Amino acid sequence: MDFPSEDLVYGRIPVSDVSPVVEGGRFPATAVPGEDIRVGATVFREGHDSLGVTAVLYDPDGREAQRRRMTLVAPGTDRYEAWLRPEYEGRWSFAVEGWSDLYDTWHHAAQIKLGVGQDVELMFQEACLLFDAASKESDRSHAEVRAFEDAAAAMRDTTRSADERWEIATSQQLRDAVAERPLRDLLSSSPHYPVEVEREAAGRGSWYEFFPRSEGAVYDPETGTWTSGTFRTATAALDRAASMGFDVAYLPPIHPIGRNHRKGPNNTLVAGEQDPGSPWAIGGPEGGHDAIHPDLGTFEDFDAFVGHAHELGLEVALDLALQASPDHPWVQEHPQWFTTRADGSIAYAENPPKKYQDIYPLNFDNDPQGLANEVLRVVQLWISHGVDIFRVDNPHTKPLWFWEWLIARVREEHPDTVFLAEAFTRPAMMQGLAKAGFQQSYSYFTWRNTKEEIEEYLEEVSHETSGFYRPNFFVNTPDILTEYLQFGGPAAFKVRAALAATASPLWGVYAGFELFEHVARPGAEEYIDNEKFQLRPRDFRGAGERGESLAPYITRLNQIRRDHPALGDLQNLTLQSASDDAIVAFSKTKTVQRDGVDVKDTVITVINTDPHATREATVWLDLDSLDLRDEDFNEDGSFWVDDLISGASWKWGTHNYVRLDPYVEPAHVLSIRRSVR
């Protein structure tokens, strides 16, 4: 039997608790091209010899692509971290290596012993052996080989003084050489863990949601009738979204709507003849999930709509709501896909005490293969019409195995497909959906409004779950109008927009947000005259002309996101300290290459979360997190920051005074000016 045996858990240098690792590596961690991934591991060893730790990135072909020395997070923790950056799409992998650092072990011991005159010649003999071995390593340059050979010879030369030999052994040239290619022994590696690098839209982007039927809808007061908007009239919404700098135009369901138990305005139980019903009550005589509501147009109209979006640089995201109205063809053709109650009726959706009589949930246990194949067919149909992004309604009410199966099957043939989970539920389920394949998810951000809530949540999503869970920071939805927006005035809308756009690489807006719509249905956290149940055309142009639109502010935020790559990553967020209990401060830093030169980009966001009062504070910055260099500092030790919102500039340092008036500008979005001297 070989000793030690190969089935031992620990290698010669123990490497444990590696991250990001999802379910032991059964699911991949996720990233997008050029995203910096924080790799962590607990690495330790017996005794007092020095330890080295390296994170290694492997490309989809298994070739080593990047190697980064890991640094100790804090003394005594044995926790090491480094950053890796995959550059293109594919299934990458990474591993963590622990090893005995021969040079550092010798250096530490020699420094102590030579200082007291102990084992002087023995220490130089050991250095000679070390440098001889280094000179024979095949990956050394000619200059390095010569330097190690000369150093080894010097260690043997007893005519040289101890001080002279020590100076040679610790020269900058040798130290640089061992820093670049350490002298390693007892190399131990973790397993290789997968990282799925998906296209940019999976992890970066800004979303704009609107109802096509409201865009261009017309009311005739003489007859009291409405004419629905169509895909042709809704191209105006695409123009609007593109002009504000959004990347994705998201449409609620566009399918036929059931008549049976149709809901009326404000979710009332009785609908009038003119009430259009909820788009999420899918299915009627005209068809189901594979059909288009006739009021919106035809497939030809839809294709033209998608084509116009692509011309504007927009992608179209379609709602995938796996439920049916009582009038859906599935109800008659496949009753086994639903739940039959004791009285023989089909169960409608309930969230007691709420009842949704116009919707039948699907049951995946009676005919799982048949239902799964039908959903796959529907998704593939819409992909064939130019839809590569799906916002999935209530995925947490379906089994995880189904999503794991569906997303994997879809992406086998269409790897660019992106799925966003609309899941406001328990953390385990939301995270389970992400592990199963959802690239994005709605999040608790909507309800995190105080400084304490915001800081706690930003820390969680950027450091604890960021290896697999990507939060899309929607500021509102047709169902969600928080009290913060109801009563915070225009400043509250600015606060939430600035916070979402700079804290997460993904954020979203539901139409009407830019008009400061804030009136809720009494006793509810949703809009009065909810667009889910009625047509709601808006005068966006008039609001802009009157100066009553947030569109210019949103446009500026989206432009800032495009200009500053630091905002395109999630894991690089660092919370900074502010003395006021309403002011949140955080920074993001990223190094990118421009014209072959490394450029450091840093954005600091400082936000007054109190929309009603001016707040003053001292903001203390962790300068190490800003990755500042000597040339970034002014002669007085300060550095310049430029406010990307107001255009103002200030000299900042470790501690900085801020005063944020919500009625003027509730947020600073600051860029550090680099290489000032």
Return phi, psi of residue 346, to 5°.
Answer: -85, 135
Is 474 annotated in a binding site? The answer is no
Which amino acid would we find at residue 216?
G
Other C-beta atoms lying within 10 Å of the C-beta of residue 174: 19
Is 581 annotated in a binding site? The answer is no
Is 532 annotated in a binding site? The answer is yes
Is 363 annotated in a binding site? The answer is no
| CA–CA distance, 206 with 309 (Å, rounded to integer) | 14
What is the H or E stretch that residue 541 is in?
A: helix 540-545
Other C-beta atoms lying within 10 Å of the C-beta of residue 595: 5
Contacts of 576 (CB under 8 A, 6+ apart): 585, 586, 587, 604, 619, 620, 621, 622, 625
**Which residue stretches of 312-423 are H helix?**
329-333, 368-383, 400-413
Is 260 annotated in a binding site? The answer is no
Q: What angle do CA 445, 446, 449 make, to 5 degrees?
A: 80
Both structure tokens of 279: 């788009």
Is residue 275 among the annotated active site residues?
Answer: no
| 422, 531, 580, 665: the active-site residue | 422
Contacts 24+ apart (CB under 8 A), 587-592: 587/621, 587/625, 587/626, 588/502, 589/625, 589/626, 589/627, 590/36, 590/565, 590/566, 591/627, 592/34, 592/565
Is residue 393 among the annotated active site residues?
Answer: yes
Show the beta-strand stretches assigned E in 33-180: 37-43, 51-58, 64-69, 71-72, 79-84, 90-101
Both structure tokens of 641: 């920051």
| 393, 569, 601, 632: the active-site residue | 393
Coil/strand/helix, residue 1: coil
Is 595 annotated in a binding site? The answer is no
Contacts 24+ apart (CB under 8 A), 288-293: 288/255, 288/256, 288/324, 288/328, 288/329, 288/330, 289/255, 289/378, 290/377, 290/378, 290/381, 291/255, 291/256, 292/254, 292/255, 292/256, 293/213, 293/254, 293/255, 293/256, 293/257
Binding residues: 263, 323, 358, 394, 532-533
What are the residue numbers of the active site? 393, 422
**Which residues contribute to the annotated binding site for alpha-maltose 1-phosphate?**
263, 323, 358, 394, 532-533
